[in-house]
Chains A and B, each alone.
Chain A
Amino acid sequence: MMTNSFFFLFRCMLVMCAFSILSVSCEKPSTTSRGGGVGPGSLETDKVIGDEKENESGGATPGEGAYVPDPAEIE
């Protein structure tokens, strides 16, 4: 009985590890907008590109969010 419980626990741990590995490998890179050329994605919202977090100062390096917003459309 004890051996069966041990193997069951071991299999559960293996499955959890597999899920963790899969979630790490499937994680998308952050799509930091540089404020330009986001294209059709912007059609779905009313916001103007450049209102996103990349324009927060303090902590952001110059290369991030430092480009002029270029929306596909305007309101």
Chain B
Amino acid sequence: MFVDLVDSSAFASVLGLKEYADYVESFHKVVRVQCEHFFEDYLRGKYERGRDYDYVVLGDQVVFFMHTAKPSNDVYLLATLGLTLKASWIASPVNRERIERRSAASEIAVGINFGTVWARQQGTGYEMQGYAINLAKRIESHSRGGQHFRIFLSDAAYNLIHTRMRNLLFSDRVLASGKGILGRFSVYEIADAFVDSVGRLAPEIAELFEELMGDAIDSNSRDLWIHSAYQISSAHHHGMVTEKAAVRCRSVLNYQPENAVALYYLAQFYREQGNLELAEISYLQLLRAWPDFGHGHLEFGKCLTEMGKEKEARTAYLRAERLGIEEATEGRAQGEGLEETPEQ
């Protein structure tokens, strides 16, 4: 995984030498603190640096390697780590100041590839070379122009996780080209994520990020990934979708009508308020835009069951089952049980 500061050259050209050095050092500090927390605290030291993973910080970029016996999990961990690094960078002093004056935050872009490399043991780690690394770098370069999370996965990385995940939604395949890469390569952008970034952040960073989320969402309509992080964090914190969160969902849907997190949490809000007809409309919009979102079909099935629409609920559960959502089988069976119960 390559993680890079977007537009760092522009910053270098306008900032003085010391200011730019401080800017880059701020990025390094965020990476060190968050990575240490992610691997040592959040993952409870399960993975050893050097043996299972490693990272190298070089100027305005960081390169991560994960190499355990579970490649799907490696890709997933890198994707979620990438999300938390984005959140951590937003909470950095550089971006706090920018957000407070309603400027767009300085961003980071992420490219993830999976492939074989040549590794030479060096001390406690490895020195790695290979085309897979070059391709990951090109994917990261491409990711700066992303329209959603600016986290792109290669074909190989995407194929490892997309059928196993319920909390990551991807854009359609895009063909990209890059310097030194023959022909074109396929990439997929994370379009939305039901990932609790705040829960994965170092506590001191989480506190700052939570304070900034609202202002960051209000000041910049481009970085809707912050809104996604906000909705998930808010729902966890309150145990429900609050009125304030629902207002933010509606606001986001004004400029991105197919935003998955906004549609999903708005539907949940309506259900929690007992307004099932509005919930149904939101679910229908969500699933029209994201027909492969299995969990969406599951919750839609539950909503329809609550409305007494058993036949439609059964169809929703079947769609969820087809997408690998095992809980849908139970929901469908219960619905069929209710249909078979003779009326009193």
Contacts from A to B (Cβ < 8 Å): 34-37, 39-40, 43, 48, 50-51, 55-58, 61-63, 66-75
Contacts and interface: CB of A to CB of B under 8 A. Distances in A.
Which size bracket describes the interface of B in this complex?
A: 35 or more
Contacts of A67: 194, 232, 235-236, 268
Contacts of B240: 63
Contact of A50 (B76, B161, B301, B327): B327
A69 B295 contact: yes
B101 interface: no
A3 B308 CA distance: 65
A37 B326 CA distance: 19
A23 B147 CA distance: 54
Contact of B239 (A43, A63, A68): A63
Nearest to A41: B44
Interface stretch (B49-57, B163-171, B178-186): B163-171
Which one of A39, A70, A75 has the greatest number of beta carbons of chain B within 10 Å? A70
B239 A34 contact: yes
A40 B45 CA distance: 10
A55 B327 contact: yes
Interface string B235-253: 1100110000000000000
B82 interface: no
Contacts of A73: 43, 73, 76-77
